[in-house]
Amino acid sequence: MTQLTDTNRQIVLAKRPVGAPNADTLRLDTSDVPVAGAGEMLLRIEYLSLDPYMRGRMNDSKSYADPVAIGSPMVGGTVARVVTSDVKGFAVGDWVLSFSGWQDYAVSDGVGVTNMGTDPAHPSWALGIMGMPGFTAYCGLLLIGEPKAGETVVTAAATGPVGATVGQIAKIKGCRAVGIAGGAEKCAHAVNELGFDACIDRNAPDFDAQLKAACPDGIDVYFENVGGAVFAAVLPLLNPFARVPLCGLVSQYNATSLPEGPDRSGAILGAFLVKKVKVEGFIVWDSFPSQYPEFAKEMTGWIETGKIKYREQVIEGLEYAPDAFNGLLEGRNFGKVVVKVSNS
- CA atoms of 60 and 17, how far apart (whole Å): 10
d(C-alpha 255, C-alpha 251), whole Å: 8
- Residues 142, 144, 147, 148: is their CA dihedral positive or negative? positive
Express each pLDDT in 223-239 by its tens digit.
Answer: 999 999 999 999 999 99
Q: Which of 270, 175, 249, 250 is nearest to 219 (CA)?
A: 175
Whole-number pLDDT of residue 45: 98
Q: Is residue 254 a contact partner of residue 217, using CB atoms and an 8 Å limit?
A: no
Model pTM? 0.93
Residues in contact with 129: Cβ distance below 8 Å, sequence separation at least 6, in sequence order: 161, 165, 299, 303, 308, 310, 336
Q: In sequence order, which residues have a C-beta less than 8 Å from that of residue 297 and are 6 or more positions away?
A: none
Architecture of 132-286 per CATH?
A: 3-Layer(aba) Sandwich (3.40)
Domain boundaries, the chain: 8-128+311-340, 132-286
Mapped onto helix, strand or coil, the DSSP state of residue 126 is helix
Whether pLDDT at 259 is above 80:
no
Angle at 223 (CA atoms; ends 130, 233), nearest 5 degrees:
145
Q: Rounded to whole angstroms, how far apart are CA atoms 113 and 91?
A: 13
238 forms beta bridges with 219
CA dist 281 to 96, 207, 241, 250, 271, Å?
30, 26, 16, 14, 18
Domain 8-128+311-340 sits in which CATH superfamily? Medium-chain alcohol dehydrogenases, catalytic domain (3.90.180.10)
Find residue 85's DSSP bridge partners.
41
Q: What is the pLDDT of residues 60-95, one digit of tens each?
A: 988 888 999 999 999 999 999 999 999 999 999 999
pLDDT at 2: 85
User: Taking a C-beta distance cutoff of 8 angstroms, is the pair 133, 40 a contact?
Assistant: no
**Do the domains at 8-128+311-340 and 132-286 have one common CATH topology?**
no
Confidence label for 258 from pLDDT (cuts 50, 70 and 90): confident
| Between 287 and 254, the higher pLDDT residue | 287
Nearest to 74 by CA among 3, 10, 7, 154: 10
Q: Show Cβ contacts of residue 114 under 8 Å, excluding neighbours closer than 6 positions.
A: 96, 97, 98, 126
The pLDDT, as a whole number, for residue 221 is: 98
